[in-house]
C-alpha cells in the first residue's frame, strides 16, 4: 500500500484528477491541512504540497516515519526546505516547466509597458488627455537575467526572439551558453550590471541570493534601467529599491513579488508612477492549477512504476540543477 498525503490550503479545491488517485489499487489517499499534517504523516510515502507556500512540514516532520518523496506544486521550494529534510534521503521535486512560458510572457509585458509608456497612456486616458509622444524601441536593447534556471532560460529565449540582447547571471561565470551566450557570476553583479536596459530577477531564494539585489547593485545600474522581479521578494533589499526609484538611480520597476505579501496598503511603492505592481501572479495563466495536477499525476505514475523522475531538486542548493 502506498500512502499519498495531500497538504491543502484552507478553502482551496483539490482537482478530482488528484483526489481520484485514492481510488487506485494499492493507494491510500489522505488529505490534510497545516494543523492536521502531523496526524496524517505517519505511514505516508508521498507528500504533495498543494499548499505550496506552507511551512507546515517543518513542524510536523517528526511524524514522518516512511516519507520517500515530497512534491511542491510550485517552482520555488525555499518555503519547504529545512535542515532535517535537506539531510534526509527524501526526494524533492517541484513544478519545473509549468510556469516557464507564462512568466517569460509577463516579463515581456513589463518591458513593453515601460518601453511603450503604457503607464503614462493609462493615466492620460483617465484624464481624457490627448498626449502624443515618442516611445522606446525594445529591439536592440539589452537585458540581464539574474537566474539561469528553466524560467530564466525561457525568459532569455523570448526576449531574444523580439530582438533584445540577453546576458545571464548565475551561480558561476561561463561563456557559450545556449540561451544566454555569456553568463556572469551573480556574486559580481555590481561589476557588470551597468549598461543594461532591463535587469530581470528570477533567482531562486537561497542563502547566496538573499538580498542579492542591494543598494550597491542599484547604484551601479544605469539611470535609464528598469528593474523587474518575478522571482522571490527576499532576493531584493526593498528599502534600497525604494530609494533607487525615488532618487532616480533607476528609471522604473515591474514588481510581481515582495518580501512582504500582500504588499501593505501604505507601502511607498504603491504611490510611485514609474512602478508596475502585480500580486504574485506572473505564472498564473488560465488552467494553471490543472496543469500542476496533471504534472503530479504523471510523476506519481512514474513513482509507482519505479521510474526515475525527469527532474529533482538539489536540496543542498535549493533548486533543480
pLDDT tens digits for range 230-275: 999 999 999 999 999 999 999 999 999 999 999 999 999 999 999 9
CATH 3.40.50.720 for domain 100-277: yes
Residue 195's alpha-carbon distances to 142, 190, 241, 278, 295, in angstroms, are 8, 11, 18, 26, 40
DSSP reduced 3-state for 205: coil
Query: Which residues are catalytically annotated?
Result: 232, 261, 280
C-beta of residue 297 within 8 angstroms of C-beta of residue 81 = no
Q: Which CATH superfamily is domain 2-97+286-304 in?
A: NAD(P)-binding Rossmann-like Domain (3.40.50.720)
If pLDDT is split at 50, 70 and 90, which confidence band does 48 have?
Answer: very high
* φ and ψ of 119, to 5 deg: -60, -45
Per-residue pLDDT tens over the stretch 276-321:
999 999 999 999 999 999 999 999 999 999 999 999 999 999 999 8
Per-residue pLDDT tens over the stretch 142-201:
999 999 999 999 999 999 999 999 999 999 999 999 999 999 999 999 999 999 999 999
- Average model confidence (pLDDT) across the chain: 97
pLDDT of residue 176: 97
DSSP reduced 3-state for 207: coil
C-beta of residue 50 within 8 angstroms of C-beta of residue 12 = yes
Q: Which residues, 6+ apart, have CB-to-CB distance to 223 below 8 Å? A: 248, 249, 250, 251
The residues that bridge with 47 in the sheet, in sequence order, are 5, 70
Do strands 165-170 and 174-177 pair parallel, antiparallel, or not at all (unpaired)?
A: unpaired
DSSP reduced 3-state for 184: strand
Which residue ranges does the chain devote to CATH 3.40.50.720? Answer: 2-97+286-304, 100-277
pLDDT of residue 265: 97
Per-residue pLDDT tens over the stretch 213-223:
999 999 999 99
Angle at alpha carbon of residue 12, lines to 6 and 14, rounded to 5°: 50
For residue 253, the tally of other CB atoms under 10 A from its CB is 24
How far apart are alpha carbons 107 and 152 in whole angstroms?
A: 10
pLDDT of residue 171: 94
How far apart are alpha carbons 112 and 108 in whole angstroms?
A: 6
pLDDT of residue 224: 98
pLDDT of residue 258: 98
The residues that bridge with 253 in the sheet, in sequence order, are 227, 275
pLDDT of residue 245: 98
Amino acid at each position: 500500500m502506498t500512502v499519498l498525503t495531500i497538504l491543502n490550503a484552507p478553502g482551496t479545491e483539490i482537482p478530482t484528477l488528484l483526489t481520484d488517485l485514492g481510488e487506485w489499487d494499492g493507494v491510500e489517499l489522505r488529505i490534510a491541512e497545516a494543523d492536521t499534517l502531523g496526524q496524517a504523516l505517519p505511514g505516508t510515502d508521498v507528500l504533495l504540497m498543494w499548499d505550496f507556500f506552507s511551512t507546515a512540514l517543518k513542524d510536523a516532520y517528526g511524524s514522518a516515519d516512511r516519507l520517500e518523496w515530497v512534491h511542491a506544486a510550485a517552482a520555488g521550494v525555499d518555503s519547504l526546505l529545512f535542515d532535517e529534510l535537506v539531510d534526509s534521503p527524501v526526494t524533492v521535486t517541484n513544478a519545473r516547466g509549468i510556469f516557464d512560458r507564462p512568466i517569460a510572457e509577463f516579463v515581456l509585458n513589463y518591458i513593453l509597458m515601460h518601453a511603450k509608456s503604457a503607464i503614462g497612456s493609462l493615466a492620460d486616458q483617465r484624464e481624457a488627455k490627448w498626449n502624443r509622444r515618442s516611445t522606446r524601441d525594445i529591439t536592440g536593447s539589452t537585458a540581464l537575467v539574474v537566474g539561469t534556471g528553466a524560467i530564466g532560460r525561457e525568459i532569455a529565449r523570448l526576449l531574444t526572439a523580439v530582438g533584445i540582447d540577453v546576458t545571464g547571471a548565475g551561480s558561476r561565470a561561463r561563456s557559450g551558453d545556449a540561451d544566454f551566450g555569456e553568463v556572469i557570476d551573480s556574486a559580481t553583479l555590481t561589476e557588470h550590471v551597468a549598461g543594461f536596459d532591463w535587469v530581470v530577477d528570477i533567482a531562486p531564494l537561497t542563502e547566496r541570493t538573499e538580498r542579492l539585489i542591494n543598494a550597491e547593485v542599484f547604484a551601479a545600474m544605469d539611470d535609464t534601467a528598469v528593474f523587474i522581479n518575478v522571482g522571490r521578494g527576499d532576493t531584493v533589499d526593498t528599502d534600497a529599491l525604494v530609494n533607487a526609484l525615488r532618487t532616480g538611480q533607476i528609471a522604473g520597476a515591474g514588481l510581481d513579488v515582495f518580501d512582504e505579501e500582500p504588499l501593505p496598503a501604505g507601502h511607498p511603492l504603491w504611490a510611485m508612477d514609474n512602478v508596475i505592481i502585480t500580486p504574485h501572479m506572473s505564472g498564473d495563466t488560465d488552467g494553471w492549477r490543472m496543469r500542476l495536477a496533471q504534472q503530479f499525476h504523471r510523476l506519481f505514475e512514474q513513482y509507482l512504476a519505479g521510474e526515475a523522475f525527469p527532474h529533482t531538486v538539489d536540496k543542498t542548493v535549493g533548486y533543480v540543477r
